[in-house]
Amino acid sequence: MSLGLGLALIALLAALGMPLFAVILAVALLGFHLAGYDLVVVAVEFYRLGDMPGLVAIPLFTLAGYLMGESGAPRRLVRLSNALLGWLPGGLAIVAIVACALFTAFTGASGVTIVALGALLYPALREAGYSERYSLGLVTAAGSLGLLFAPSLPLIVYGFVAGQVGGPTPVTIPDLFLAGLLPGLVMIAMLSLHAMWAGRGIERARHRFDPRELRAALAECAWELPLPVIVLGAIYSGALAASEAAAVTALYVLIVTVWIKKEISLAKLPGVMAESMRLVGAILMILGAALALSNWLVDQEVPTRLFELLSEHVDSPWVFLLWLNLFLLAVGMLLDIFSAIVILTPLLMPVAAAFGIHPVHLGIVMLANLQLGYFTPPVGMNLFIAAYRFGKPIGTLVRACLPFFVVLGLAVALLTWWPALSLALQQL
């Protein structure tokens, strides 16, 4: 069987519903077979994946995120954000933006944010006087915020995959945690400015600052507030590796939600853990298959050939980044973020390095575009989740999200062509 015929058959099976990990694995098996390799090399990649110590951070952070999502943390987070920011013009909209970003950072899944916080934020925005279109667009778009903030699972997955690809410039998870901070804040700031403009004539959208409410909200969040300090402080101080910080985080959240707050019963706990591990299992299957595929791509010198092809038509890293943004937007509409990361990172890293693009900056550009792709019309995944959650037609969601797409698109363009936003904190 030729490579072209084999790929055509795999594409047909994919169109008929073949799981993504099986598609990736089939391409890797076909490639190694036609190259004359023993197919045991693919199984070796799965064994090597299970033997990597840093991998444990993925299931542990995922478990912590799911536990927080099932607890009362979303409600407490919204209350604290409202107490801190609700007095600003467009205050409630800014509260929604900040709450969604923080919640997505810990759960690592924008769809979960829309489902978990949508029930709180959408009715509150409508009651405050915001239009239906603005409220729907804000919750849908803000649901993808936070993927650049630690300890976001996509950041960890990119760091893990990039570390396996290697290269002259090492990529570490702490570096990525720092790199995502300023670009993420720029996105929140630009959406907040838009929210202040949108809420300028809505008096019900803001309230007076109340120190007593702030103290009460802080007291209610007393167990959640130390969590970012524990995670980031332990990693950046060198006290704990990322995997060890993940273990501490998972244990801390488990104790707080089950035994201190008692918001998750022991009877419910196994179901929450099983649900979180289903996501982890899917990620690991895709990751193992993608490692095998990337090895075949490197063996066949595909990144080198891709760079040679691009260099004939692209003569600057800025033009390359422009085409990369457009490509990643399209990918973000069609694939979930984890699949896109593990498939594209081994292919794009060597090409970006040849254009002089730092791999950490590449990672932030990738995640920012894939985050935007979540609600890019017409087939972004968040559009369908929000349509189901709020019972609205897809067309309504598309029109509602267009202004937010423009605002965040400008933010993505800014962080793409201003690498210092991603790299400045590492140089301090």
Confidence of residue 332 (pLDDT cuts 50, 70, 90): confident
| Cis status of the peptide bond prior to 170, with omega within 30 of 0 | no
Q: State mean pLDDT over 176-184.
A: 89
d(CA 303, CA 62): 32
Tokens of 53: 């110590």
- The answer to whether residues 72 and 66 touch, using CB atoms and an 8 Å cutoff, is no
d(CA 188, CA 194): 10
- The answer to whether residues 28 and 293 touch, using CB atoms and an 8 Å cutoff, is yes
Helix (H) or strand (E) holding 45: helix 40-50
d(CA 207, CA 86): 6
Q: What is the pLDDT of residues 276-314, one digit of tens each?
A: 888 788 778 877 777 777 777 777 777 777 777 777 777
- The answer to whether residues 102 and 366 touch, using CB atoms and an 8 Å cutoff, is no
- The answer to whether residues 252 and 233 touch, using CB atoms and an 8 Å cutoff, is no
209 contacts: CB under 8 Å, gap ≥ 6: 87
- The answer to whether residues 156 and 175 touch, using CB atoms and an 8 Å cutoff, is no
Tokens of 134: 């603005």
Which has the closest alpha carbon to 326: 382, 370, 356, 359?
370
Sign of CA dihedral 348, 349, 354, 355: positive
Which has the closest alpha carbon to 57: 182, 170, 158, 179?
158
Work out the mean pLDDT of the chain and round it to a whole number: 81
Long-range contacts of 304-307, Cβ-Cβ distance < 8 Å, separation of 24 or more: 304/350, 306/347, 306/351, 307/350, 307/351, 307/354, 307/355
Q: What is the pLDDT of residues 199-227, one digit of tens each?
A: 776 665 556 777 888 888 888 888 887 87
Which has the closest alpha carbon to 112: 379, 338, 385?
385
What pLDDT score was predicted for residue 362? 92
Please give the distance of CA 226 from its chain centroid, rounded to a whole number.
22
DSSP-assigned states of every residue in 287-338? HHHHHHHHHHHHHTTHHHHHHHHHHTT--SHHHHHHHHHHHHHHHHHHS-HH
Question: Is this structure's pTM higher than 0.85?
Answer: no
Which has the closest alpha carbon to 136: 381, 378, 391, 368?
391
d(CA 261, CA 72): 9
Higher-confidence residue of 153 and 3: namely 153
d(CA 386, CA 394): 9
Q: Is the per-residue pLDDT at 350 higher than 60? A: yes
d(CA 386, CA 246): 30
Q: State mean pLDDT over 35-47.
A: 77
What pLDDT score was predicted for residue 53? 63
What pLDDT score was predicted for residue 204? 57
